[in-house]
């Protein structure tokens, strides 16, 4: 028996048994039939996740008490957020049992987070967090309500009900320093500090990206009246402050049209303000549908020029991938996210926030080798094989050869960005002569 079923049975039986004399006797056969039917329905609820309509049918057919037992059996067998779970929680609350609903939602949210981080479009997760915040506030559990709202705002900053409620609850907290300490310990939540919302230099508008280290928002810089991309680190510890400064300073040294511009550093917010590139990333473009050969080739050429420049300055990006290749106004590529970047030859300690994305890492980088430009070349080759894989028709053989030289398994067989750039320029001259 699950903890939910055990807990509910105990709760139901506390002081709820009627006197023996008040219960009408019933035939043993009818009791046995009802018990068998109830067991069958509990078994069915555990084997298949029910719908809200099915749960309402149980209530009509079997009564609320039995239906709730079935509901807990289903929730235990199918952890996580679903239409049924949200409906079942509302029923518990409407029946005067918000404690059960709160406990159910909290367990389901924890089960969901153990599998994957929710996205902005996850309506079930957003609804569950909002419901838990409401229940927690009514039950005088303000800290849990604030945690729920912070988690909600970290995935949907512009939620119309969450932000006003969060501000109101914050204003009611008497010991702000204690709350701040507990908030910093919750690494999974990325709520932009209140100064960025309403009082400081930046007015956050919407979320545009999320990674392992931080979340990126579109924000308005009220000092100079312009939009910026505001990257806010998930954590605020000493290691994160060091990485914040390292990322900003390293990217600021790379003045090139193909490298994102750093505009400001906000240590108090745990944030970096960068130029806002409104066209999104190559990953975004690929998600919208197939691209053309000419466009993919331009991305290849401009990103290769930017990468050759980065390497000429002795910097290794260490996390090249389509989502870190932004698309500029002329369809040229702008490399962003230098949070894992390090000087060539630096060991892993130079990037304590973690380095790279496994799918794009060469074998030696996965094994912890010091940073080398060849790591970026491998990631470049894997990324553009993915990009050209979305181009209809045949890919020119010279492009396939170029990408093969990038993504070679052995580092010694990988060509440098500058070498490939010379070859690409030669290819262009041949094409113009031909």
61-67 contacts, C-beta under 8 A, 24 or more apart = 62/38, 64/95, 65/12, 66/38, 66/41
For 40, 258, 336, 359, 412, the CA distances from 375, given in Å and listed in that order, are 58, 19, 17, 12, 11
- The DSSP code for 197 is I
Q: Which residue has the tokens 């749960």?
A: 55
**Rounded CA separation 97/164 (Å):** 26
Active site residue 319: yes
User: Which of these, 228, 165, 173, lies nearest to 191 by C-alpha position?
Assistant: 165
Q: Which of 36, 158, 172, 319 is catalytic?
A: 319
Q: Which residue has the tokens 């894992």?
A: 340
**Rounded CA separation 187/202 (Å):** 22
Q: Where are the alpha helices (DSSP H) in 116-231?
A: 123-138, 142-155, 162-172, 176-184, 194
Confirm if 221 and 228 have CB atoms less than 8 A apart. yes
Q: Where are the alpha helices (DSSP H) in 14-161?
A: 28-47, 52-62, 64-77, 83-94, 98-115, 123-138, 142-155
Confirm if 341 and 354 have CB atoms less than 8 A apart. no
**Rounded CA separation 231/223 (Å):** 18
- The DSSP code for 144 is H
User: Which of these, 103, 100, 161, lies nearest to 127 by C-alpha position?
Assistant: 161
* 60 phi/psi in degrees, rounded to 5: -70, -40
Which residues are marked as active site? 319
């Amino acid at each position: 028996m699950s903890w939910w079923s055990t807990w509910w049975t105990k709760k139901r039986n506390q002081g709820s048994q009627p006197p023996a004399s008040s219960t009408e006797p019933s035939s043993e056969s009818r009791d046995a039939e009802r018990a068998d039917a109830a067991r069958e329905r509990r078994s069915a609820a555990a084997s298949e996740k029910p719908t809200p309509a099915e749960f309402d049918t149980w209530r009509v057919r079997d009564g609320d008490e039995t239906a709730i037992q079935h509901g807990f059996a289903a929730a235990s067998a199918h952890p996580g957020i679903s239409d049924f779970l949200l409906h079942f929680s509302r029923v518990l609350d409407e029946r005067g049992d918000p404690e059960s609903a709160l406990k159910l939602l909290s367990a389901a949210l924890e089960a969901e987070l153990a599998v994957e981080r929710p996205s902005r479009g996850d309506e079930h997760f957003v609804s569950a967090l909002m419901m838990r915040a409401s229940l927690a506030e009514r039950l005088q559990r303000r800290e849990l309500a604030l945690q729920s709202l912070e988690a909600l705002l970290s995935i949907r900053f512009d939620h119309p009900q969450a932000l006003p409620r969060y501000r109101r609850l914050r204003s009611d907290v008497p010991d702000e320093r204690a709350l701040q300490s507990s908030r910093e310990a919750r690494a999974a939540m990325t709520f932009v500090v209140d100064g960025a919302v309403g009082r400081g230099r930046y007015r956050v508008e919407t979320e545009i990206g999320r990674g392992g280290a931080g979340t990126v928002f579109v924000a308005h810089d009220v000092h100079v009246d312009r939009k910026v991309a505001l990257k806010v680190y998930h954590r605020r510890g000493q290691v994160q402050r060091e990485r914040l400064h390292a990322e900003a300073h390293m990217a600021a040294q790379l003045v090139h049209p193909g490298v994102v511009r750093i505009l400001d550093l906000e240590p108090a917010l745990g944030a970096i303000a960068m130029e806002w590139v409104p066209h999104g990333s190559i990953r975004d473009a690929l998600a919208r549908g197939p691209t053309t050969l000419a466009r993919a080739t331009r991305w290849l050429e401009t990103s290769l020029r930017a990468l050759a420049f980065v390497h000429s300055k002795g910097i290794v990006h260490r996390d090249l991938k389509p989502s870190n290749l932004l698309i500029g106004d002329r369809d040229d590529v702008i490399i962003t996210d230098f949070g894992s970047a390090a000087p060539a030859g630096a060991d892993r300690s130079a990037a304590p926030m973690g380095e790279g994305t496994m799918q794009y890492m060469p074998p030696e980088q996965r094994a912890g080798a010091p940073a080398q430009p060849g790591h970026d070349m491998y990631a470049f080759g894997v990324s553009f094989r993915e990009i050209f894989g979305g181009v209809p028709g045949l890919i020119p053989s010279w492009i396939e050869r170029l990408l093969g030289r990038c993504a070679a398994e052995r580092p010694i067989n990988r060509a440098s960005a500058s070498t490939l750039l010379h070859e690409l320029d030669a290819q262009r001259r041949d094409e113009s002569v031909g």
